[in-house]
Amino acid sequence: MVEFIDVRTEDGVTRRSFSLGVAGEAVPAVLWAPQDASGPRPLVLMGHGGSQHKKTPGIRTRAAQYALRLGYATLAIDAPGHGDRITREEAESNMREVGARVTGRVAADWSPERLKAMAERMRKAVPEWKAALDAVQTLDFIGDAGPVGYWGVSMGTAIGVPFVAAEPRITCAVLGLAGLRPGAAEMEAAAKAITCPIEFVFQWEDAVAAREHGIALFNALGSKEKAMHINPGGHMEIPGFEGASWERFFKRHLTEGAKAGVLQAA
Amino acid sequence: MVEFIDVRTEDGVTRRSFSLGVAGEAVPAVLWAPQDASGPRPLVLMGHGGSQHKKTPGIRTRAAQYALRLGYATLAIDAPGHGDRITREEAESNMREVGARVTGRVAADWSPERLKAMAERMRKAVPEWKAALDAVQTLDFIGDAGPVGYWGVSMGTAIGVPFVAAEPRITCAVLGLAGLRPGAAEMEAAAKAITCPIEFVFQWEDAVAAREHGIALFNALGSKEKAMHINPGGHMEIPGFEGASWERFFKRHLTEGAKAGVLQAA
């Protein structure tokens, strides 16, 4: 049973905050839905990026738009070591550190220590996402019949790849801003196990994900329907039209259930 | 002055056929517009693929949709050595030959003779397109104020790259299914001279355009706004959702005149 700590309605969208106990830790979660929502509806899970949190502007803006325009619910949780799971001082320090890396001011850190810490975070995050999904599917305004989509780029993809691979309730996902580095066997196996439609967004001058690693991750995805969208610019410079593309991707798969045909184009 | 040979209206769309004299040759052209169109409107130029012609199903279907849904006019012409510029027997022979290449049954032919013939076709096609654009811009239901978009993949890109580079009236273009081969200096220079927004569609298992050549062409494009959409499958297997993406791309640039912002996504 989900107990809401805080419920607020603004401009037609209701935001409910709650906390999940997973493996002895409290995982803060937030759920957006249309005001007065009742009955089952599509659900999008949104995984934030490194140093960000569950209510980061990109997530809360899209969550409100999806509620208003598509009638969807959106769920976000704080990743291990992020958001309300750390102090404000730690969060600010992380933001400075990640900010320096993604803008290329500081070289990406692929030390064995950091890779180990990241792998541990992934393993912790997957059961947390599952527990969060279990919890909200008991709500009458979401239900357990699905469909469920996932959105997460950068760290949201590092966590999203093993999560989407392990979670059959997810029927489509937007991933990106991440790569498959040589020797990342766990990530590669997870990518290969993914079979749902994927839209993979990638920035061509990304200081933390090399072109060849981005292509390698796209190639590893086991999905029959997968599209890679490459745009110029850095990690924080995804063009606005890709946001519109994500919305249409979710609409196509979560509302319309469309099958991809083939164009008579060539 | 444009003299129409044939004018037909079907389901709200009027199709006008005409012929242009360019460098002593007759270039067959066709123009679609909403029935009873009057006053200026956006125009899309559609360049067909190798062995195809100006009224190939992909072109005529999208031309009708653009007329009905967006109010646009669409112009297509037969490329040199294509459509009504050759006999039915020659067209059928070309179709078999190109069909064998694009499906990988026969290896792509990059012999010096074929490259030379292709380069000559490009040089001939660009002034033909310009003459066709000049002609239709004199019509009251199109006008010369623009905006003008270009769509063409495969041979439509081989011709489209030099054409879009040389034609400042074109303000956005969909290209794809083609690559930049090492040593193709003319193509590379033209790609670099392009500055308008581009959506570049590419098939990851294309038998006639290698991945690295597709990426090289995308990289060479001088445009600040350019997106490469990679999908699995062969030359003839562009997924249907890319067609919807082209329509939105044109709508964004020809109707809305949108500037690309940056998402708070990462």
Q: What averages of pLDDT result for each successive group of 10 residues across chain B (266 residues)?
A: 94 97 96 97 97 95 97 97 94 92 87 88 95 97 95 97 98 98 94 98 96 98 98 96 97 85 70
**pLDDT, tens digit (0-9, with 9 covering 90-100), for A164-184:** 999 999 999 999 999 999 989
Give the type of residue at A39. Answer: G
pLDDT at A130: 98
Best A52, A95, A264 residue to mutate vs chain B (most B CBs within 10 Å): A264
Residue of A nearest to B263 (CA): A240
Best A94, A230, A250 residue to mutate vs chain B (most B CBs within 10 Å): A230
Residue of A nearest to B208 (CA): A266
Question: Residues of A near B (CB-CB distance < 8 A)?
Answer: 49, 52, 56-58, 61, 102, 153-154, 177, 201, 218, 224-233, 235-245, 248, 252, 258, 260-266
Contacts of A227 in chain B (CB under 8 A): 229-231, 239, 241-242
B1 to chain A, closest Cα gap in Å: 31
Rama region for A176: left / alpha / beta (φ>0; ψ in -120 to 50; rest): left
The Cα A59–Cα A76 span in angstroms is 8
A108 within 8 A of A116, measured Cβ to Cβ: no
pLDDT at B258: 65
**Quick one: tokens of B139?**
């019509």
How many cross-chain Cβ pairs, A to B, lie less than 8 Å apart? 119
**Quick one: tokens of B179?**
């690559």
| A258/B241 CB distance under 8 A | yes
By three-state DSSP, how is residue B63 classified? helix
By three-state DSSP, how is residue B4 classified? strand
Please count the other Cβ atoms lying within 10 Å of the Cβ belonging to residue B146. Answer: 17
Partner residue facing B237 (CB), from A52, A239, A262? A262
Contacts of B58 in chain A (CB under 8 A): 263-266
| B242/A265 CB distance under 8 A | yes
The Cα A20–Cα A3 span in angstroms is 9
Mean pLDDT of A143-148: 93
| A218/B230 CB distance under 8 A | yes
Instruction: Tell me how far the alpha carbon of residue A170 is from its chain's centroid.
Output: 12
B189 to chain A, closest Cα gap in Å: 19
pTM of the model: 0.94
Asked if pLDDT for residue A83 goes beyond 70, the answer is yes
Confidence band, pLDDT 50/70/90 cuts, at residue A258: low
Partner residue facing A239 (CB), from B57, B262, B264? B262
Q: Which residues contact B159 (CB under 8 A, 6 or more apart)?
A: B47, B79, B121, B122, B125, B126, B129, B152
| B265/A244 CB distance under 8 A | no
Asked if pLDDT for residue A107 goes beyond 90, the answer is no
| Closest C-alpha to A173, from A232, A218, A119 | A218
| B239/A225 CB distance under 8 A | yes
pLDDT at A264: 64
pLDDT at B48: 97
pLDDT at B46: 98
C-alpha torsion A49→A51→A54→A59, nearest 10: -50
Q: How many residues does chain B have?
A: 266
| Closest C-alpha to A73, from A16, A2, A26 | A16
**pLDDT, tens digit (0-9, with 9 covering 90-100), for B3-52:** 999 999 999 999 999 999 999 999 999 999 999 999 999 999 999 999 99
Asked if pLDDT for residue A260 goes beyond 70, the answer is no
State phi, psi for B235 to the nearest 5 degrees.
-55, -35
- A144 CB-side CA count, 13 A: 8
A266 to chain B, closest Cα gap in Å: 5
Q: How many residues does chain A have?
A: 266
Q: Which residues contact B133 (CB under 8 A, 6 or more apart)?
A: B43, B45, B75, B148, B167, B169
pLDDT at A42: 97
Contacts of B239 in chain A (CB under 8 A): 225, 227, 260-263
pLDDT at A204: 98
Contacts of B258 in chain A (CB under 8 A): 241
A49 to chain B, closest Cα gap in Å: 5
Q: Which residues contact B208 (CB under 8 A, 6 or more apart)?
A: B101, B102, B108, B154, B177, B235
A23 to chain B, closest Cα gap in Å: 28
| A240/B260 CB distance under 8 A | yes
Residue of A nearest to B57 (CA): A264
| Closest C-alpha to B22, from B86, B71, B78 | B78
A59 to chain B, closest Cα gap in Å: 8
| A266/B153 CB distance under 8 A | yes
Please spell the DSSP secondary structure of A53-89, one letter per residue: -TT-HHHHHHHHHIIIII--EEEEEPPTTSGGGS-HH
